[in-house]
Amino acid sequence: MAKIIFNESRSLADIISTVKGTSGASLDSVVEMKTLKKSRETKIPFDKAFKGPIFCTKHEFVFIGANYENAVNNQLVREGKEDDFVSQPLPWGEWVGDTMKVIHHKDNFYLRYYSDMSANSASSERIYHYANGKLLTSEEIDLLFAEYMSPVSEDSGRQETEKAVKPKNVKMDGIMKVKFGGNEYVRKGFEV
């Protein structure tokens, strides 16, 4: 496996957007979590309950390059339904290239991916921490998800599937390492 070091998110976006096909991948990222400004229950402001912005460092197994329309239609077939789903254009941003892997929006690049629901997903990891690296306590994590995160909808909407196909996006700036297609792409400074 070749290790390729990249400095800028644009470089990684350029590389990924040219790789054809769907591929399983290992993705390491660090992203700031989007939290509510105050508790849904107590109305206590976020900055009174926590010591600053919260980040999630993730190591996960994913699929990149999957066609959303095909993924939904495949799910419909698995559920014994007619595969007649037609996707809409992206609700924001534009595809970079024709591989449906990279989105450009407001001077930022995003990797589109799908969670791996196989046995590999059990070995995915998430660590919640502050900007200084201090880990959240289990009580802080419980409070974060119970009161300061928007509830996740399980509704499949237009898909009409029992199990929703949910594409995810991660800002390229948050990607530290991604392995796929026989190569490992590592952000400069995270070569360890």
pLDDT of residue 179: 94
Per-residue model confidence (pLDDT) at position 192: 66
Tell me, what's the pLDDT at 40? 94
State in Å, rounded, how far the first CA of the chain is from the last one. 15
Taking only the tens of pLDDT, the chain with its 192 residues reads: 799 999 999 999 998 998 888 889 999 999 999 999 999 999 999 999 999 999 999 999 999 998 899 989 999 999 999 888 998 889 999 999 888 899 999 999 999 999 866 545 556 899 999 999 999 999 999 999 999 998 876 655 788 888 888 899 999 999 999 999 889 999 999 876
Q: What pLDDT, on a 0 to 100 scale, did the predictor assign at position 81?
A: 92
Q: Is 84 helix (H, G, I), strand (E, B) or coil?
A: coil
Domain ranges of the chain: 2-187
- Model pLDDT, residue 117: 60
In the prediction, which pLDDT does 108 show? 96
